[in-house]
Amino acid sequence: MGQTITEKIFSEHAGKTVHAGEIVRVPIDMVIGNDITTPISIRAFEESGAAKLANPDGFSIVLDHFIPAKDIASANQARISRDFAKKHRMKHFFDEKDMGIEHALLPEKGLVVPGDVIIGADSHTCTHGALGAFSTGMGSTDLAFAMMTGGNWFKVPESIRVVLHGKPGPFTTGKDIILEVIRMIGVDGALYRTLEFTGDTIGHLSMDDRFSMCNMAIEAGAKSGIVAVDEITEAFLADKTLAREPKIHYSDPDAEYVQTIEIDVDTLEPVIAYPFLPSNGHSLSQAVADGIKIDQAFIGSCTNGRLSDLRIAAKILEGKTVHEDVRLIVTPGTQRILREATKLGYIDTIVDAGGVVSNPTCGACLGGYMGILGDNEVAVSTTNRNFVGRMGSRSSKVYLANSAVAAASAVTGYIADPADIE
């Protein structure tokens, strides 16, 4: 019986052939913590009596949710991770000195590699599957166990094959593809399964698109999302010093899938997820017809804070002005993205149009800071969740969209088609 790419990754790590449904304990290549979840892991680690990390080079802490600290509590929370990193002489500790949102920063640093098994105490750890790795979110105590032992237990997930056909239109992105998948199967349609993205469309998608798709696999309930390595992946990795040798795996032609989903991407419009679920997807045409007035447009997060997002936003905003009733907040995913966008003139264009650019942070996405919504306010956002109260007040509303739509909407004051204002 053939194997999926996910089964092959687990087989290689387990040292034996395994298939979906089996429970295995395997070594973990990279454990990822952040300023919210890591202190819980540290407490469990220390209470266990552990004296050292099992795999110090395979553990990264990225302070990205409330950094720079928004208040005394977040400052004290961050200090727990800082003190631990210093005590254990951690090589991969990132704060204000080299900051970024964890799921944008670690691929940029070469710390996640094809063929890896990766865990993080953050649900959007599945982002890294875009590099042909198995990557998933776990709880803080699971992280502590991996810190102590270098491994963990997994149930090898079944896979859903998502076959994508055709070339995307000029304003259709990876974000729209994953929103369409979630619309089709619902927020629990891939529960404890892997979404494996395949088809000829993949060759038309940048790494940024692929990161967005895998990032939101969790919003369909998936354990992970994954895209096999190809020339585009190799080009992304070419200028990086990788933490490990890549291990490249591909699904066999006779691999077994529990479901196959097919999408004609060449006819897919940008998708807008209405409140209050990522699965509440509607076409951009419908959203424009509905005349949805907004108070805030947000471009950023681990889903859409990459250079291509800032590029398309700047292209749309060139020579235009943000609507007088709208706040436009842009959050680059990392300092490197911010610096590159500055060199290319994107930041000047965004600021000249009336937008504000923040430091890299998860703050607005989770309703923490740097873009909280007030009572009854409406936002169009490139983030990944639009649950009740996700970005602020419980009476606020969040419409999920790609960066082109968010930028166009910032100009018009309503959810807008970027093709109409170019």
Tell me if residue 236 falls in helix, strand or coil.
helix
User: How many angstroms separate the CA atoms of 4 and 19, rounded?
Assistant: 9
| pLDDT computed for residue 297 by the predictor | 98
Instruction: Please give the C-alpha separations between residue 283 and each of 183, 264, 289, 309, 313, in angstroms, as whole numbers.
Output: 11, 14, 10, 20, 20
| pLDDT computed for residue 1 by the predictor | 80
| pLDDT computed for residue 422 by the predictor | 66
User: How many angstroms separate the CA atoms of 331 and 301, rounded?
Assistant: 7
**CA R_g for the chain:** 20
- Range list of β-strands (E), 28-177: 30-34, 59-62, 93-94, 117-120, 134-137, 151-155, 158-165
Name residues of the chain where pLDDT drops below 50. none
* Contact assessment for residue 75 and residue 178, using Cβ atoms and an 8 Å cutoff: no
284-317 b/e (C-beta count within 10 Å ≥ 16 → b): beebbeeebebbbbbbbbbbbbbbbbbbbbbebb
| pLDDT computed for residue 249 by the predictor | 97
* Contact assessment for residue 384 and residue 401, using Cβ atoms and an 8 Å cutoff: no
| pLDDT computed for residue 106 by the predictor | 97
List of domains in the chain? 5-263 (3.30.499.10), 271-420 (3.30.499.10)
* Nearest Cα residue to 371 out of 386, 358, 387, 352: 358
| pLDDT computed for residue 378 by the predictor | 98
Q: Which residue is it, tokens 């959810």?
A: 415
User: How many angstroms separate the CA atoms of 61 and 95, rounded?
Assistant: 9
Tell me if residue 418 falls in helix, strand or coil.
helix
| pLDDT computed for residue 347 by the predictor | 98
> 312-324 pLDDT, tens per residue?
999 999 999 999 9
| pLDDT computed for residue 110 by the predictor | 96
Q: Helix (H) and strand (E) counts for the chain?
A: 14, 18
| pLDDT computed for residue 421 by the predictor | 85
